[in-house]
Chain A
Amino acid sequence: MGAYVVRRLFFSLFVLWGAVTIIFVVLRLVPGDPAYIMLGPDADQAQVAALRAQLGLDQSLIQQYATYLANVVHLDFGESFRLNADSMSLVLQRVPATIQLATTALLLSLLIGLPLGVIAALRAHSWVDRAISVFSLMGQSTPSFWLGIVLILVFARGLKVLPSAGSGSWAHLVLPTITLALPFLAILVRLTRSGLLEVVHEGYVQTARAKGLGEGIVVLVHAMRNALIPIVTVVGLQFGALLGGTVIVETVFAWPGVGRLLIDSIGRRDYGVVQASILLVATIFVLINLLVDLLYGFLDSRVRLAGD
């Protein structure tokens, strides 16, 4: 298990290094002077000169890359010209709001998605299963920014039972959570259904049944434990989509999280904040996948044994 953990840790670091490098390369690949692009047409000469110095644009590419990596390691993304504060601390202030939204959405998806998936698998090919499949397909296909607008129209403007934007109370959390959770929930239903259907005909499930165990125990204890393995992996990978989704949901509902800061900063051409927020979200995502991988090793002994 130890070697497995170390290997996963190294891979996570490698991925983060890759993300940092992609950002560096993209910033340098865009035609034109990065300092001009980052500051926009209305910047004055002093600002451009300051940013050129900060980015080290007069040095060689390799030196620039080294400076960039060193700054990233020190979490130094420079001052935000627009907000007069350190970019990274601006982003860190917004993290709790995003985490709150993402975790409630994740919990809601698990609470509804897993049971629906189990029901669909147990009643496979019945009308219940069909109804759940249709719901899941619609959930995956509905643009979340549009769903958010429709929810605002119905519950905030029409029925006037929930606030349309902002944060502060649990009521503010309801609509953004539903909007963010729906696509994730839909994927979870599909995965749980297909995962369970794949194992219900396996020998050990039949053995459990032959021992006279109740259908509930057979499904929830014997079948589910193995069906969970692919589910956990995909949940980890899809959590990235959920985090990406916070950008849109926070914009629709004026939720004061990292995603909205990111979009506002793009509008203000505040690229220090843009990079800091993208890297922070990527880091959270990588950490969650690391956790998922470790959990995966715990659920399936073949995974950790393969590496040792």
Chain B
Amino acid sequence: MAAAVRRRTRAGSARIRFGFAVIAVYVVAAVIGPWLFRYDPVGTRTADRLKPPFTRLSDGSFAIFGTDQVGQDLFAQMLQGARISIAVGLATLVLAGTIGVTIGLAAGYFGGRLDGVLMRLADIQLAFPSILLAIFIAALLGPSVVNVVIVLAVANWVTFARVARGQALATRRREFVDASRTLGAGTWRLITRCVLPACIAPVLVVATVEIGHVILAEASLSFLGLGTPASTPSWGVTIANGRNYLADAWWISTIPGIALAFLVISLGVLGDALRDRYDPRLRSL
């Protein structure tokens, strides 16, 4: 019985371990992979064009995932792409999280008219398909890594704002906050020391759930030619590129897509498991 209860409270452990393990592999590959397998974005090796997976190339190296239309090793390109996609995902979350938490805390803590204005802004944003907003801004700013981060952060801050606002509303009336106020703590101190810490756990959970969506959105933008430029090929760029060679080289588009989907699935599994364990109230997000 005790064992059963224990297992019940630890539900999701297997999913959390699985998620962390897969993501760790991706992160390690993204960090050290490009040093081990050099990728030169402007290099061309015409002798090795469009070689299928498991081919020995002219320089003796082994192309496990084949080569693209200019003879680049697809595996090396994907390692580079992992670095770009994950870095863009993390940077977007940091920016969107900072904007969202700041707005959410302000709205929830001060309430009143400020809350009304900020939350109507969030409603407008939610009523607007976020990929359209991202496409519009990206089209104006032009393709670059920094612009993708800005665009995706603008399209994704609302979830963070809502969670932070909810926590701020729940926390600001708690006894320990009143106690701190009575002891003379100022507004800034109350927000940063009392309300903000209460937001951190749910915001981290939301971030885990969101990062998969952000990485997918980055890939979609890049696929449309509005994301990272060709000199920094994220997975979306590589997949888009392979579209022109579907008849001769199925692997260019297919393999990076599998890698991308598997990462997003693992992030989804981890995010759901963390949410179930630490904050089941966020289930509707």
A interface footprint on B6-38 (CB within 8 Å = 1, 0 otherwise)? 000000000000000000000000000000000
B139 — which chain A residues lie within 8 A by C-beta? 266, 274
**B128 with A152: CB separation less than 8 A:** no
- Is there contact, CB below 8 Å, between A282 and B243? no
Indicate if A243 sits at the interface (CB-CB under 8 A).
yes
Q: Are A244 and B126 in contact (CB under 8 A)?
A: no
Bound complex: CA of A241 vs CA of B105, how far in Å? Answer: 27
Given A152-B246, A248-B224, answer yes or no on A278-B132 (Cβ-Cβ < 8 Å): yes
Which A residues touch B126, using CB under 8 A?
A: 237
B125-140 vs A, Cβ < 8 Å mask (1 yes, 0 no): 0111111110111011
Q: How far is the CB of B154 from chain A (nearest CB, A)?
A: 9
The answer to whether A247 and B136 have CB atoms under 8 Å apart is: no
Residue ID in chain B nearest A289 by CB atoms: B127
Tell which of B90-98, B170-178, B215-223 binds the partner.
Answer: B215-223
User: How far is it, in angstroms, between the C-alpha of A60 and the C-alpha of B265 when the chains are bound?
Assistant: 50
Given the complex of chains A and B, what is the CA–CA distance between A146 and B261 in angstroms? Answer: 9
In the complex, which of the residues B127, B131, B254 contacts A150, with contact meaning CB atoms closer than 8 Å?
B254
B219 engages A149 (CB within 8 Å): no
Choice from B129, B223, B269 contacting A145 with Cβ under 8 Å = B223
Let me know if A251 and B224 touch, CB within 8 A.
yes
What chain B residues lie within 8 Å of A171 (beta carbons)? none
How far does the alpha carbon of A137 sit from the alpha carbon of B270 in the complex, in Å?
12
Considering the complex, give the chain B residue whose CB is closest to the CB of A198.
Answer: B283
Closest to A16 in B: B127
Q: Decide if A240 is an interface residue (CB 8 Å cutoff).
A: yes
B218 → chain A, closest Cβ, in Å? 10
Cα separation A14 to B121 with both chains bound (whole Å): 10
CB contacts under 8 Å to A, within B41-92, are: none
A143 touches B260 (CB 8 A): yes
Contact of B268 among A140, A263, A282, A289 (CB under 8 A): A140
Chain A: minimal CB distance from B126 (Å) = 7
Nearest chain A CB to B250 CB, angstrom units: 5
In the assembly, what is the distance between CA of A27 and CA of B136, in Å? 9
> Is there contact, CB below 8 Å, between B130 and A26?
no
Q: How far is the CA of A153 from the CA of B251 in the complex (A)?
A: 10
Query: Which residues of B in the span 181-204 have a Cβ within 8 Å of any Cβ on A?
Result: none
Assess the A150–B140 pair: CB atoms within 8 A.
no
Q: How large is the interface on B (under 10, 10 to 19, 20 to 34, 35 or more residues)?
A: 35 or more
Asked if A157 and B246 make an inter-chain contact with CB atoms under 8 angstroms apart, the answer reads yes
A10 to nearest B CB, angstroms? 12
Q: Give A135 Cβ to nearest chain B Cβ, in Å.
A: 11
Contacts of B242 in A (CB 8 A): 149
Known contacts A18-B124, A26-B140; A141/B212 CB under 8 A = yes
B284 and A26 form a contact (CB under 8 A): no
Residues of chain B within 8 A (CB-CB) of A230 are 284
Which bucket holds chain A's interface residue count? 35 or more
CB-contacts of B216-250 with A (<8 A): 216, 219-220, 223-226, 236, 239-240, 242-243, 246-247, 250
Q: Which of A140, A142, A145, A266 has the most CB of B within 10 A?
A: A145
SS of B interface (majority) = helix
Q: Which of A22, A37, A137, A146 is in CB contact (< 8 Å) with B128?
A: A22
Q: Which of B132-174 contact A (CB under 8 A)?
A: 132-133, 135-137, 139-141
Tell me whether A295 is interfacial, beta carbon within 8 Å: no
Contact with B along A247-289 (1 / 0, CB 8 A): 1100110000000001100110000001000100110011001
Q: Is the CB of A143 within 8 A of B246?
A: no
Is residue A19 within 8 Å, beta carbon to beta carbon, of the partner chain?
yes
Q: With CB as the reference atom, state the residue of chain B lying closest to A27.
A: B140
Say whether B129 contacts A146, CB under 8 Å: no
Does the CB pair B220–A248 fall under 8 Å? yes
Residues of B contacting A15 in the complex (Cβ-Cβ under 8 angstroms)? 123-124, 127-128
User: A84 vs B261: C-alpha distance in the bound complex, in angstroms?
Assistant: 42
A237 to B, closest residue via Cβ? B126
Give B265's nearest chain A residue, CB to CB.
A141
A245 at the interface (CB under 8 A from B): yes
B246 touches A149 (CB 8 A): yes
Would you give the shortest CB distance from A158 to chain B, in whole angstroms?
9
Interface: A167 (CB within 8 A): no
CA distance A55 to B254 in the complex (A): 45
Residues of B within 8 A of A243 (CB): 129, 132
Contacts of A144 in B (CB 8 A): 220
B214 to chain A, nearest CB (A): 13
Expressed in whole angstroms, the minimum distance between the Cβ of B111 and any Cβ of chain A is 20
Additional A-B contact list (18), CB under 8 Å, known A18-B121, A137-B265 = A15-B128, A18-B120, A30-B140, A30-B141, A141-B212, A143-B261, A143-B264, A240-B127, A241-B130, A244-B129, A247-B224, A248-B131, A251-B223, A251-B224, A262-B135, A281-B132, A282-B129, A285-B129
B-to-A contact residues, CB < 8 Å: 120-121, 123-124, 126-133, 135-137, 139-141, 212, 216, 219-220, 223-226, 236, 239-240, 242-243, 246-247, 250, 253-254, 257, 260-261, 264-265, 268-269, 283-284
Chain A residues at the B interface, C-beta cutoff of 8 Å = 11, 14-15, 18-19, 22-23, 26-27, 30, 37, 137-138, 140-147, 149-150, 152-153, 157, 194, 230, 237, 240-241, 243-245, 247-248, 251-252, 262-263, 266-267, 274, 278, 281-282, 285-286, 289
A-B contact pairs, 12 of them (CB 8 A): A18-B128, A30-B140, A140-B268, A141-B265, A143-B261, A145-B223, A149-B239, A247-B131, A248-B220, A266-B139, A285-B127, A285-B128
